[in-house]
Chain A
Amino acid sequence: NAGVTQTPKFQVLKTGQSMTLQCAQDMNHNSMYWYRQDPGMGLRLIYYSASEGTTDKGEVPNGYNVSRLNKREFSLRLESAAPSQTSVYFCASSAATRSSYEQYFGPGTRLTVT
């Protein structure tokens, strides 16, 4: 089992460019999440998908869109990148959104917007 995989690992964008971060899990989990982590801070939830076909906003959704392509894959899109979106992005999955289930994290994507 690969667990949660993310691509790319690193990305540099210019302001205004767009890109899609890909995430896939092979644990047959229903729920998937996108977080961002800024230096010295914890994780902030951008969007989540409780189950295939549903997506919901998290704490910091502005400037992002998501697609739950199927049960395995959950992508995050930046339509017009801004320097404030420079961060490390983590995808995670869990069996369900209830907090009694642990989340499994991918290795992260380090994004720099110049």
Chain B
Amino acid sequence: SQQGEEDPQALSIQEGENATMNCSYKTSINNLQWYRQNSGRGLVHLILIRSNEREKHSGRLRVTLDTSKKSSSLLITASRAADTASYFCATDRKTGGFKTIFGAGTRLFVKA
């Protein structure tokens, strides 16, 4: 079973709008990362948030982490057509050895 699960599975918005994607996970984590995948390409790292952090910003990206609810959100502000991609959260486990687990992703489509 997957540690991280994103929702929604797909999201379609107009250019200029904000896009919010959520990730829920099951067990305690050390870190949570968000990646982007453009169609047919490999994943690209966007941002990492540690378990003792609540919010992080990087350009138009804002990530929050709520460890009590075991969830994270990725907000993309003022979206652009170039933001069209799939977005994945990747989580780990505090115990049980190394294992970074990717969710199934949210497919974001930004209409120009």
B partners with A: yes
Q: Footprint of B on A, CB under 8 Å?
A: 4, 35, 40-45, 48, 50, 58-59, 90, 92, 97-100, 102-108
Question: Of A40, A42, A48, A100, which is within 8 A of B102 by CB?
Answer: A42
Contact B31 A100 (CB under 8 A): yes
* Total inter-chain residue pairs, C-beta < 8 Å: 60
B75 on interface, CB distance cutoff 8 Å? no
Interface on chain A toward B: helix, strand, loop, or mixed SS? loop
Instruction: Select from chain A the residue with minimum beta-carbon distance to B50.
Output: A100
Selected from B98, B100, B101, the residue in CB contact (under 8 A) with A50 is: B98
Closest chain B residue to A48 by CB distance?
A: B98
* B41 and A43 within 8 A (CB): no
Return chain B residues, CB-CB under 8 Å to A92: 42-43
Q: A108 touching B100 by the CB < 8 A rule?
A: no
The answer to whether A102 and B33 touch (CB under 8 A), given A90-B42, A108-B41, is yes
Contacts of B104 in A (CB 8 A): 40-42
Q: State whether A99 touches B103 (Cβ < 8 A).
A: no
Residue of chain A at shortest CB distance from B99: A45
18 A-B pairs with C-beta separation under 8 A: A35-B102, A41-B104, A42-B101, A42-B102, A42-B103, A43-B88, A50-B98, A58-B99, A97-B98, A98-B98, A99-B31, A99-B90, A99-B92, A100-B30, A103-B43, A103-B45, A105-B42, A105-B44
Nearest chain A CB to B30's CB is how many angstroms away?
A: 5
Nearest to B97 among chain A residues (CB) is A56
Report the Cα distance A41→B99, complex, angstroms. 17
**Residue B59, interface by CB 8 Å:** no
Residue of B nearest to A102 (CB): B45
- Chain B 11-40 per-residue mask, 1 if CB under 8 angstroms from chain A, else 0: 000000000000000000111010000001
